[in-house]
Amino acid sequence: MVLQELFIQSFGGMRERSFRFDKGVNVLEGPNESGKTTLAAFIKYIFYGPGQKGSADRTRYLTGTKSGGWLTFVSDEGVLWRIERVTIIDSDGAKESVRDNVRILDTRTNRILPEKNPGEYFFGVNESVFVNTAFVGQMNAVRPDGTSLSGAVENMLQSADENVDLKRAADRLNQARRELMPKNSPGGKIREKEEEKAKLEEALAAAKERAEKRMEAEAALRNAAAKRQEMEDKKDGLESLAEAAEVISACKKLAAAEDTAAKLKSYHSALEVLSAPPFSDLAEKLEELEEDAEPAEEPVHQTGSHLKMRNEDAAAALEDGEYLESKARLFLAVAIIMAIAGLAALAAGAIMVYFGFPTEQFVIPFAAMGVFVIVGIVFYVLQGKNLSRLDDILDDWGVDTLDELDEIAESGEGMHQPAVKAAPAKKGSALDDPDTVNRLNTLAAACGVEASDDPAETLAALRKKAEKAEHDRETVRAKVENLTGRLGALQESVEGLDRAALVAKYKKIIATPEGKAAMQLDAEGLAKVLKERDFTMGTWRAQSKKETELEQALASMGSDEGRTPDVLEGMLATVTEELEELKKQHAGYTMALEALKNAGETVRTTIIPTVTARASAVMEKVTGGKYSRIAMDSAFGLQFTAQNGTDSVDMLSKGTADLAYVSLRLALARTFFGENGREIPPMILDETFAAVDCGRLEKAMEAMCTSGVQCLLFTCRGDETRIGQALGCAVTHMNG
């Protein structure tokens, strides 16, 4: 394995830092606190994760809520791999929730591996074995106090940890296993965790049920609040509309009362005129004059070419005219619709012809077009006939529009008066008397009738005037009675209203949308608005009551006091993780105890010869041939063969002992990993050669360059850098 590149997004004190490595030896030089140990720990983190809760690495390096980054390496088979890892820690006091996400990508095939532990997948060993073979930290380079180098080798060969005393370890393993789960007695951490997990599962189920009920209640409350708000908005709108309509209606009543009073006054004046001479006794005076004259022939009512025998009542004529006009409009609309339908059928047929539809298909739209055109023509002709009949009515009354005919009907002149052409009076009548003619002309002048040269025509005109005066008097008297009653009702309805304030309010309201809408309402429309307002008010009250009841029901559910389903799921995940870890520990302790029983002889007969041979080769290189061989007896006692004989480990200097220690590390790495078809991890050496002189340091670095294992050498002094540059090693200067 050769590490190529890594990127630290956030880890310990490092943020947004990237590093590149070459195969062979990589020297990473930097002063203290420049991040060397952090970088080394990050490599271990990428392969083995954040460590256990409360561990030194987690406490030291995972300081924020989100830590992680990525690295790439080329495997021994030449495949480029990329490992990404992000750890998110949510801490709430003593409670801690950890989400560790890892992604292993084969860049050759873009395949993502399902494994969650890259270290065990690629190296085949757990974190402890990795740390105690390939990962030589600052403190691990020095032999533990009270432990000989041979003891450390023995412990490493059997447990991959030079700090573990195997005999005491076996007792501790057995004790730890009993603490986790006693064989034939209750108690133990595993059973306690199982009970805690069961309680959390029960609490989680109850919390989910409460949360579901709360969610349903909250949804119902939101729905009720929305409906209540909808009804409230509608109620407010209808109240504003009703208020505006009431103001407008009151103003209309005031205006109607004033208009009615003015009309009543004018009709009173007209009635006074019609009830006073000469109109009051016009009929009697005409009777006196007619007694002196022979009866004249009845006048012939003619209107040109033929007599008009119908529509002599203006109201009836207006009703017939409006009916004919509405029919004409309806027939014209039908004719237009038929024309449009015919054009549409023509277009459809043309499209079907253009696109080559079969003849039996496009004949249908053309046939439909013919039917539509014929029907349209028929309705257009009927519309013309109705308009012609309407024109006859208008000509009959001598008006141009129905509005003018409506004015005639409302004015009281409701009887049709065709042009009169009276027959000449008979010769020798009293109308030939000058005195009678003078009286007749005087009466005509008083009544506003133009005297004719023919007294008979003047008499006929006065007779019509008398009839009209009598008709108008009765009509005006009826109008006065009707308007008097209407004025009384209007005055009663507006009694007590402040006209000035009402008008001021009216002017403001008609400028609002509600006022404009209210202006379009008639009495029936206002009644509908008031009815809808009352119904909406009742609905709003009912919805408000329902909302209050839902709020009370929701409040009665209480709170989970921080033990929400999310929190409980996090706690359960943590407990489950801890339980699984305890079970793994228990299984590991059991396996370790079994392994310890059988490991000794296997190590002595198989592993020791390989390790000592490889360690001897490295030791010979780094000591310049002074120590050419490391021998190991059955008790793991170490002897070093030198040029002048054999020395025991106790005779070695600290620097030489450290070189021997590193030699054993290199040999163990090759043995643990390379011999079993696993990836050989890079050797991570953090200030390992602090006690080694420059000469032997150069030899050690030369040996590492030729070992075939990538080495990352972290140092704070310049010797390693100078030697590395001379050997052609990659050198990286870390400046914090």
CB-based burial label for 733 (10 Å; 0-12, 13-18, 19+):
exposed
**What pLDDT is stored for residue 208 in this prediction?**
86
pTM of the model: 0.42
Ranges 88-92, 259-263, 660-664, most confident: 259-263
Residue 229 banded pLDDT, cuts 50, 70, 90: very high
Q: What are phi and psi of 53, to 5 degrees?
A: -60, 130
Convert the pLDDT of each residue in 167-183 to its tens digit.
Answer: 566 677 677 777 888 87
Cα torsion 686, 691, 693, 696 to 10°: value is -60
Among 105-114, 118-127, 202-211, 283-292, name the most confident range.
105-114
The model's confidence at residue 165, banded by pLDDT at 50, 70 and 90, is low
Region 710-720: mean pLDDT is: 90
Averaged confidence pLDDT in the chain: 79
Give the C-alpha separation, 254 to 257, whole Å.
5
Task: Return the C-alpha torsion angle 382, 388, 392, 395, nearest 10.
Answer: 150
Q: What is the predicted pLDDT for the residue at 74?
A: 95
Could you check whether the bond before residue 358 is cis, i.e. omega within 30 degrees of 0?
Answer: no
Give the residue carrying structure tokens 């069961």: 198
Question: What's the token pair of residue 345?
Answer: 């059928």
Q: In this predicted model, what pLDDT tens digit does every residue of 372-428 receive, in sequence order?
A: 889 889 888 888 888 888 888 888 787 878 777 777 877 655 444 443 334 444 444
Q: What is the pLDDT of residue 272?
A: 83
Task: Decide: 130 and 48 in contact? Cβ < 8 Å.
Answer: yes
**What are the Cα distances from residue 605, in Å, to 329, 633, 670, 674?**
118, 11, 17, 19
* Range scoring the smallest mean pLDDT among 18-27, 271-280, 331-340, 506-515: 271-280
Please compute the mean of the pLDDT values over residues 304-322 and round it to a whole number.
59
The pLDDT of residue 571 is above 70: yes
Least confident of 226-240, 514-528, 566-580: 514-528
Give the mean model confidence (pLDDT) for residues 690-699: 83
Are 172 and 159 a contacting pair, CB within 8 Å?
no
* CA proximity to 619, closest of 674, 667, 651, 670: 667
Q: Which residue from 13, 94, 101 is spatially nearest to 53, judged by alpha carbons?
A: 94
Q: Which residues pair with 39 in a beta bridge?
A: none
Place of tokens 């209309």: 252
Query: In this structure, how many other beta carbons lie within 10 angstroms of the beta carbon of residue 664?
Result: 27
Nearest alpha carbon to residue 253 among 484, 486, 524, 490: 490
Q: CA 543, CA 413: separation in Å to the nearest integer? A: 60
